[in-house]
Every structure is written in structure tokens, then in C-alpha cells.
């Protein structure tokens, strides 16, 4: 039985239980700290808010949350630790990098421009530092590597992050989860990681539910990797109804062992909030940590998806992905 890194220490893989494998305890887009009108960050308040938001899913039986926040989206392991201690829910945090357009890359680009080191080498060394020695002075070791690409392309920094992640994964055994922008570039992400020697069972291509094309999903699944239907409640481009129809189709084709379910929600955020126009807000009306349990699973069950299939997607598959078992 393999041990899994959580923010409170290592646990047996069998202790993971019901798992949401792509969420955020607290996150913030690059630049929030430069906003003079942003609220002052208070880690205790952020933790308390997160606990309040997450209590309902703890009551629903969720035992583990994978926090997919990389360092350049303001990952905060101290808040994660406080939430994990209060709720007695396991939290697995990430090392890695976000997309070139929305992450923080200037520092590494400047270092590369004066030929201190290549960006890929810098990234690899940073990933390994956190994996082996812990994040900062916290002692917390990540349990997964998170990398990302933008819409319709893999930018140079993103390619470097994928190659660095692959090298770190090969050496440490940590799995790799990805962000695809609106579901694009899934096959290319998989091919890049596979070409770098990462085992397919250690790859999870994220946000694939941004596409409603069965053929596109099969193109990725045929590479042997895992895929994530992990944006339930985000209905900008694809409705949850269409997501469920696509998911049911894939389950009917026998792919239950390589699909996971999640929301990509954040319990707390940095910076200022704001009100969306009503026509946009309605597309997020169900975007919360309970959506899968209250709105999605009942429909899936009515459509003939079995309890065993649901357990496979929400317990067994995340465990296999995180543990490599």
C-alpha cells in the first residue's frame, strides 16, 4: 500500500476515500496583490470561510480534496493545513505551474534570458525541491504535479513545464494532472507527457468536459491516460446536461476506470469579488462543491449509472491515480 502526501503528512492510499480530485481551497489570479482596492488577506478568515464552504461536502462523505492550485495561482499550504485540521478532511496539494498567459513567468524568463539556466531546468529543480524537501518552511510535500496549457496551443513555457514535470514524475513517482483551456489540447498534452516517459496511468488530462465530442474524448482515452470531468457547474460553453450525456456515453463504452469527477471550485479567493451580469451569472448558478452530489449523481443514477460505477469514478480512480497502485 503506497503512502500519499497530504498537507498534514503521509497517509495510506486506502484512507483517501471519497475524493474530489480537482478543487481549490484558496486561489487567486496573478496580479491580485497589485490591486490597491483588494481586501487585505487574512489567512485565519480565509481558512474559516473555506471551512464553512466545505462543511456540507464533509457531511456528504468527502474524505479527500486534491487542491490543484500551483504556486503562481497563490497556493497557500498554511490555509490548507488549517482547513484540513478543522474539518478532518485530507487535502493533497500541488507543485507545478499554470499557463503562460495566466501564470507568472517573467522571473523565469528573465533568468533564462541571461542564460543562468534553461526554463525547463529551473522548473525541474523547483519541482524537485518542493517534492523532496517540502514547500518553503512548511514541510508540506505535494502529492501531485499540476501543469497547464492555453487555448488551442502549447506555448514554449508550457512545453518546458510539461517536460520538467515529466522528469520529476519519472524520478519521484508523483502523478501529473493538467489544465486544458476549454478542453483543448488534450491529445497533445498526453502525447508530450507520454513521449517524455510518463506512464499513462499517472496522467490525468483535466477539464476534458469542456468538449462535448465523444470522438475527441476517445482520441485522448485511446492513449491510455485518465480524463477528468471536473468542471461541473461551469456552464459557459458546455451545460452540465451535455456533460452528463457525454459521460454516460463514455461509460457505456467501458471507460469507467479512467474517468474522475470534480468541480474546479474555490472555497476562498484572493482580491476583490464582483457581481456578474445576470445573463452570465446564470451559467454558474450550480457551481459549488455540492453540485455533483445534489444535481449530477441523481441524474446519472436515473440514467442507469450504477453505484459501483460512481464509486469507481469517485473513490477507486482517484486512489489509483494518486498512488500508482
- What confidence tens digit (pLDDT) does each residue in 30-45 have? 899 999 999 899 999 9
What domain count does the chain have? 1
Closest residue by Cα to residue 189 from 202, 174, 179, 199: 179
**Contact in structure between 232 and 263 (CB atoms under 8 Å):** yes
Question: d(Cα 185, Cα 154) in Å, to the nearest integer?
Answer: 8
Q: List the one residue out of 299, 270, 282, 264 whose CA is nearest residue 68.
A: 264
pLDDT on residue 281: 86
Integer distance in angstroms from the first to the last C-alpha of the chain?
8
Q: What is the pLDDT of residue 238?
A: 96
pLDDT band of residue 275 (cuts 50, 70, 90) is confident
pLDDT confidence bin for 1, thresholds 50/70/90: low
pLDDT in tens, 114-149: 788 899 999 999 999 999 999 999 999 999 999 999
Amino acid 176: pLDDT: 98
% residues pLDDT > 90 (the chain): 90
Q: Which domain holds residue 52?
A: 3-323
Angle of helix 119-133 versus helix 156-172 axis, rounded to 10:
40
Instruction: Report the pLDDT averaged over residues 51-56.
Output: 98
Q: Give 124: exposed, middle or buried? Use CB within 10 Å, 0-12, 13-18, 19+.
A: buried
- Give the max Cα distance, the chain: 60
* Average pLDDT taken over every residue of the chain: 96
pLDDT tens digits, 185-218: 999 999 999 999 999 999 999 999 999 999 999 9
Which pTM does this prediction carry?
0.96
Q: Please tell me the predicted confidence (pLDDT) of residue 39.
A: 86
Q: What is the CATH number for 259?
A: 3.20.20.140
State phi, psi for 36 to the nearest 5 degrees: -60, -20
Average pLDDT on 67-71 reads 98
**Per-residue cell: 92:** 493533497
Could you list the beta-strand ranges (E) of 110-261: 144-148, 176-179, 203-205, 226-229, 259-261
Amino acid at each position: 500500500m503506497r503512502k500519499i502526501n497530504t498537507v498534514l503528512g503521509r497517509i495510506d492510499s486506502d484512507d483517501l476515500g471519497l475524493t474530489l480530485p480537482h478543487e481549490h481551497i484558496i486561489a487567486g489570479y496573478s496580479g491580485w496583490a497589485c490591486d490597491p482596492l483588494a481586501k487585505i488577506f487574512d489567512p485565519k478568515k480565509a481558512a474559516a470561510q473555506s471551512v464553512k464552504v466545505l462543511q456540507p461536502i464533509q457531511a456528504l462523505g468527502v474524505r479527500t480534496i486534491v487542491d490543484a492550485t500551483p504556486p503562481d495561482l497563490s497556493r497557500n499550504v498554511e490555509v490548507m493545513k488549517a482547513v484540513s485540521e478543522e474539518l478532518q478532511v485530507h487535502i493533497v496539494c500541488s507543485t507545478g505551474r499554470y499557463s503562460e498567459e495566466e501564470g507568472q513567468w517573467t522571473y523565469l524568463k528573465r533568468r533564462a534570458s541571461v542564460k543562468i539556466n534553461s526554463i525547463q531546468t529551473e522548473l525541474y529543480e523547483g519541482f524537485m525541491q518542493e517534492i523532496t524537501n517540502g514547500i518553503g518552511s512548511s514541510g508540506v510535500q505535494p502529492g501531485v504535479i499540476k501543469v497547464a496549457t492555453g487555448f488551442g496551443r502549447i506555448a514554449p513555457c508550457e512545453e518546458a513545464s510539461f517536460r520538467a514535470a515529466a522528469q520529476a514524475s519519472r524520478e519521484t513517482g508523483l502523478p501529473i494532472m493538467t489544465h486544458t483551456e476549454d478542453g483543448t489540447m488534450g491529445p497533445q498534452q498526453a502525447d508530450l507527457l507520454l513521449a517524455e516517459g510518463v506512464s499513462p496511468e499517472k496522467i490525468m488530462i483535466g477539464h476534458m468536459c469542456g468538449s462535448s465530442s465523444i470522438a475527441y474524448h476517445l482520441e485522448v482515452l485511446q492513449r491510455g491516460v485518465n480524463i477528468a470531468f471536473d468542471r461541473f457547474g461551469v456552464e459557459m460553453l458546455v451545460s452540465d446536461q451535455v456533460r452528463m450525456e457525454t459521460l454516460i456515453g463514455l461509460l457505456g463504452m467501458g471507460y469507467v476506470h479512467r474517468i474522475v469527477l470534480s468541480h474546479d471550485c474555490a472555497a476562498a479567493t484572493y482580491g476583490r469579488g464582483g457581481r456578474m451580469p445576470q445573463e452570465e451569472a446564470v451559467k454558474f448558478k450550480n457551481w459549488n462543491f455540492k453540485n455533483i452530489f445534489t444535481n449530477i449523481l441523481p441524474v446519472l443514477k436515473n440514467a442507469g449509472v450504477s453505484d459501483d460505477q460512481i464509486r469507481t469514478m469517485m473513490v477507486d480512480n482517484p486512489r489509483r491515480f494518486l498512488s500508482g497502485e
